[in-house]
Structure 1
Amino acid sequence: MRVVICPDKFAGTLSAVEAAEAIAQGWRNVAPNDELVLRPIADGGPGFVEVLHKALGGSLLEVPATDPLGRPVAGQVLIVGETAYIESAQATGLHHLSPAERDPKITTTRGLGTLVRAAIRADAKRIVIGLGGSATNDGGAGMLGELGVYAQSEIGIPFPAGGQWLAQCASLGWVLGNVPLKRMQEQGVEIIGASDVDSPLTGPSGASAVYGPQKGATPQDVELLDAALANWATVLERDLPTCPPKLAELPGGGAAGGLGAAILAIGGRIVSGIDLIRDLTGLDGAIAGAGVVITGEGSFDYQSLRGKVIAGVAAAARDEGIPCVVLAGRVTTGRREQGAAGVTEAHSLTDHFGSTEQAMAEPARGLRELAERVARQHVA
């Protein structure tokens, strides 16, 4: 039997590649003659570059960048032909901060701008940015600042990093000399944001209201940041000729704390991260004719069924009439929800071990053992 193994990362414990290898090892222990096809998956968040590098090859350009608080971090740009792939979480990710450091009023996307500049210097004709897992809520202002256009006050003074200052932004200013953003536009560089959300920039379902609290925002912070992003959208629409109308309302603008809106404002577009990955990794072709598909992630919850990896994989398996098994750190979805999405069965490490602590401590062993159990059921 051919078995397709295509998990996402298990946040905080295993990368998608490591999770796939653990599942494969467990299956081989039971059915060593089965054909295993490993296709680790990401939806735009952490692991985006690693997954694409494994699937597409290419070369990794090491780029010194900065984290959401401006501290040095190692970044990478994956170059495949004329396309550069960038993972925004390498510079903006929540995993860079301790819980005490989370404050979306002051975190910045400037480090992502550094990675984009490196892609421009590498003469990329197409830049694809994975959006997800961010600690930021600055509407991409930090990234744009690194590309040569910045938020400024009524008297032309640039603002410090952080989304809170955007409430006072009166206009955009441009750095003197060689401006990376203008160079991109003159050379016709295509820019694409790959996201797992379609939230708008502002409002009850926007970046601040939905994702701000998990980044450390209080209810008062959410109100402040939402108003700040609304003002930022107004300024971008007025001062950037490439910015589409009604920016604050466009689907995907709220991705990664408003990074999606910044990409739209400079003439880019937002696409589904899982659909992009499915296409680039040849996942649908691999699934066709398989006996079973195994996917998973750290938490299989209601968000998993809204444009994330499990939803995309299960839909592809359902279209082919192939069973789709989910192995997750924990499972909080009901069987009816799972079945409607195309998931035929789901197993959790927490239930397997009997505790969250052990599931977090030994995820690879747990995945091996769960894969062995599933293999016995399907081989029999």
Structure 2
Amino acid sequence: MKVLIGAAQVNGHRAVEVLDAVVHGWREGNPQAELDPVVASDGAADLLDAVQAHRGGRRGVITVLAGDGVTRVPVVTLRVAGTLYLQASDVLATTAVTPHQVADATSEGIGSLVRAAVAQGARRVVIGAGTTPSLDFGVGMLRGLAAGAEQAGGGGEDLPGLVARAVEALAGVEVVLASAEPTVALGLRGAGAALREQIGAGAAQALEQERAPVAQQLLGLATARSRTTAGGLLAGTPDGSGARRGGTPGAGCAGGLGVAVEALGGRILPGAEFVGSELSLAHRARSADLVVLAAHRLDAVEADTGVVGAFARAAAHWGLATVALTTSGEFDPRARATLGVAGAAQVGGSPAQFAESARRAAAAWRW
């Protein structure tokens, strides 16, 4: 039998590490099985590992301004043909998070990375993004991309002009945001709300209220651009009127980075599905007899927008069963069946425990 085995990051263990453990355990439980290992990613972590394992490519290092707006950080990127892949967390992640640090955080380094990609001849830039301790709605990225646009204080920045300069700097290069979560820009499920556990509900709400006018204006510019691109009908207004309150699902990832991405004419795509497409997941499932995935959790959200859902849908398309090995979630047979998962096992979380769980599953799921 042939088994498609995927693994995502779990409890801080890289996806590659978890995958190696699961493959080792499966081979112990069923030495005759033919395995097709897949590094899984929802865009927030291990994006470069996932793409390079399947498509190859060349890694490079570009030093840019870190999310704190003070230090500079070397960021690893992956170039595959005309596409440059990068992860927002490599710029925006910090070890200590306070309301002041979040307020000062900037995505300018991401804009510098995109500008460097354009200079290197890339035709597409893919940014993997999850929740990061920031909330600048991508204004810093626009500044970094425009490279020379002046920063006006007191909320007086000419956002339409900044966006126009950034679009000119893009020179037709496509920008794709692979969002790990369906977080919108504003509101109860917005980018500010996603920071409640990190800086507290009050501080997160106050910061979102302060930054909301900027987000709304960028949402309006994005709406105007999309309508103009669609044929000029019902073109939006540059002041942001008519913009959707919350924005596109995924726009709130990486401190609202997707708002600026859409204002540039870029796309926001569900991270797990997008990465699955980059890895030819559906095609690879076609030749398999069983699909197995090791991930952090098994629940309705993960089955909808996460790696569990991406693998389960690829399996279901060809009538295959999916077995999930996760540290938490829904393990009741009827509950997991609604998530598209035929079998599941709860795992402690270490690579060694995943290896043992895979060994037992391999002995049970064999023919």
Relative to the length of structure 1, the TM-score reads 0.83
Please tell me whether the aligned partners of residues 151 and 171 of structure 1 are also in contact (alpha carbons under 8 angstroms). no
Q: CA deviation at 1:284?
A: 0.9
Name whichever of 231-240 and 275-284 sits farther off: 231-240
AA matched with 1:21: D
CA-to-partner distance for each residue in 1:98-128, whole Å, 9 max, x for gaps? 3568943222222222221221221111111
Q: Quote the offset at 1:238 in angstroms.
A: 6.8
Counting matched residue pairs gives: 348
- 1:36 matched to which residue of 2? 35
Alignment correspondent of 2:168: 182
Q: Separation in 2 of the partners of 1:243 and 1:213? A: 31
Q: Please name the residue that 1:86 is paired with.
A: 86
| Structure 2 CA distance for partners of 1:88 and 1:349, relative to 1, 3 Å | same
Q: Which runs of 4+ in 1 moved over 6 A?
A: 149-152, 238-241
Q: Do the aligned partners of 2:99 and 2:199 also contact (CA within 8 Å) in 1?
A: no
Superposition deviation, residue 6 in structure 1: 1.1
What amino acid is aligned across from residue 183 of structure 1 in structure 2? A
After TM superposition, give the deviation of residue 310 of structure 1 in Å. Answer: 0.7
Q: Does 1:76 align with 2:68?
A: no
Matched position secondary structure for 1:193: strand
Deviation at 1:269, TM superposition (A): 1.3
Q: Secondary structure at the match of 1:346?
A: strand
Is 1:268 the counterpart of 2:255 in the alignment? no
**Is contact 1:77–1:118 with CA below 8 Å preserved after alignment?**
no
How many Å separate the matches in 1 of 2:8 and 2:290?
17
Task: Flag structure 1 segments of 5+ consecutive residues without an equivalent.
Answer: 160-164, 351-358
Q: Is the 8 A contact 1:46 1:133 kept in 2?
A: no
Closer, same or farther in 2 for the Cα pair 1:348/1:190, shift >3 Å? same
Aligned positions of 1:9-28 closer than 5 A = 9-12=9-12, 14-28=13-27
Conserved in 2, the CA contact under 8 Å of 1:171 and 1:239?
no
Alignment of structure 1 residues 163-174 onto 2, 5 Å: 168-172=155-159
Instruction: Pick from 181, 185, 195 the counterpart of residue 212 of structure 1.
Output: 195
Local SS of the residue matching 1:138: coil
On the 8 A contact 1:171/1:235 being kept in 2, the answer is no
Does residue 378 in structure 1 map to residue 360 in structure 2?
no
Q: 1:7-38, CA deviations, whole angstroms, 9 ceiling, x for partnerless residues?
A: 211141x2112211110000111222210001
- After superposition, what is the alpha-carbon deviation per residue over 1:66-95, rounded to whole angstroms, capped at 9, x for unaligned? 4432433331221111111121121123xx
2:112 to 111, 114, 118: 114
Distance 1:239 1:375, change over 3 A: closer
Letter in 1 for 2:128: G
What is the CA RMSD across the aligned residues, in angstroms? 2.7
CA distance in 1, matches of 2:5, 2:149: 45
Letter in 1 for 2:51: L
Structure possessing the higher relative contact order (Cα contacts under 8 Å, 6 or more residues apart): 2
Q: Note the C-alpha offset of 1:230.
A: 2.3
Q: Which amino acid aligns with 1:92?
A: L
Matched residue, 1:278:
276
- The residue identity in structure 1 corresponding to 2:181 is V
The residue aligned with 1:230 is 212
Change (3 A) 1:335 1:108: farther
2:144 matches 1:146: yes
Matched residue, 2:353: 366
Q: Residues 203 and 326 from structure 1, CA distance in 2 versus in 1: closer, same or farther, beyond 3 angstroms? A: same
Q: Secondary structure at the match of 1:297?
A: strand
Cα deviation digits, residues 271-290 of structure 1 (max 9, x gap): 12222212211111111242
% identical aligned pairs = 26
Match for residue 197 of structure 1? 181
The DSSP-based 3-state class of the residue aligned with 1:329 is: strand
Give yes or no for the alignment of 1:137 onto 2:135: yes
The structure-2 alpha-carbon separation of the partners of 1:238 and 1:302, relative to structure 1 and needing over 3 Å to count, comes to closer
The verdict on how the C-alpha distance between 1:222 and 1:54 changes in structure 2, with shifts beyond 3 A counting, is same
Deviation of 1:188 (Å): 1.2
Judged with a 3 Å threshold, the aligned counterparts in structure 2 of structure 1 residues 150 and 72 are, in CA distance, closer, same or farther, namely closer
- SS across alignment from 2:260: helix
Asked whether the 8 Å contact 1:208–1:225 carries over to 2, the reply is yes
Query: What is residue 2 of structure 2 aligned with on the other side?
Result: 2
Counterpart contact for 1:92–1:135, Cα < 8 Å = yes
Q: One-letter code of the match for 2:360?
A: R
Residue 239 of structure 1 and its aligned partner are, at CA, apart by 7.1
Question: Any idea what the Cα deviations from partners look like across 1:299-320, whole Å, max 9, x if unmatched?
Answer: 3344312311111111221222
Specify the SS of the correspondent of 1:225.
helix
